[in-house]
Amino acid sequence: MSNLSNTVFKAGVVTRVTALWAFSEAFLGGILHGFKVPFAGLALSLMAAICMALIAANDKGKGVILKATLVVLAVKFVLSPHTPPMAYVAVLIEGLAGELFLMRRKSLRTGAFLLSMFCLLYSAFQHLLILTIVFGKGFWNALDIFLNGITKTFIKQSQQYSLYLVSFYIGCYFITGLFGGIFCSRLIKKIQSGKVPPIVNEFAVAEKITDSKVTAGSKKKGITAKYFIAGLLLLLLIASYTPLFNGTVLKTKVGQVIIRGTLIMLVWNFLLSPLLIKLIGKWVQKYKAAKETSLQQVLLLLPGIKNMVQFSWQKANEAGRYKKIQQFLSNTAMLIIYGR
CA 243 to chain CA mean position, Å:
40
Please report whether residue 279 resides in a domain: no
Share of the chain above pLDDT 90, in %: 21
Kindly tell me if the per-residue pLDDT of 235 is higher than 80. Answer: no
The predicted structure's pLDDT at residue 248:
53
Please report whether residue 233 resides in a domain: no
Which of 15-19, 109-113, 148-152 is predicted least confidently?
148-152
Please report whether residue 295 resides in a domain: yes
Please report whether residue 165 resides in a domain: yes
Please report whether residue 78 resides in a domain: yes
Please report whether residue 20 resides in a domain: yes
Mean pLDDT of the chain: 77
Which of 21-25, 128-132, 222-226 is predicted least confidently?
222-226
Tell me the per-residue pLDDT of 80-137, one tens digit each, with 9 for 90 and over: 777 778 888 899 999 999 999 998 877 899 999 999 999 999 988 988 887 787 677 7
The pTM assigned to this predicted structure is 0.72
Please report whether residue 258 resides in a domain: no
Task: Please tell me the total count of domains within the chain.
Answer: 1
For residue 241, give the nearest of 260, 262, 228 by alpha carbon: 260
Please report whether residue 19 resides in a domain: yes
- Max Cα-Cα span within the chain: 74
Give the structural domain span for 127.
3-220+285-338
The pLDDT confidence band at residue 251, using thresholds 50, 70 and 90, is: low
The predicted structure's pLDDT at residue 240:
58
Q: Which residues of 46-72 are buried (b: 16+ CB within 10 A; e: fewer)?
A: bbbbbbbbbbbbbbeeeebbebbbbbb
Average pLDDT over residues 150-176: 87
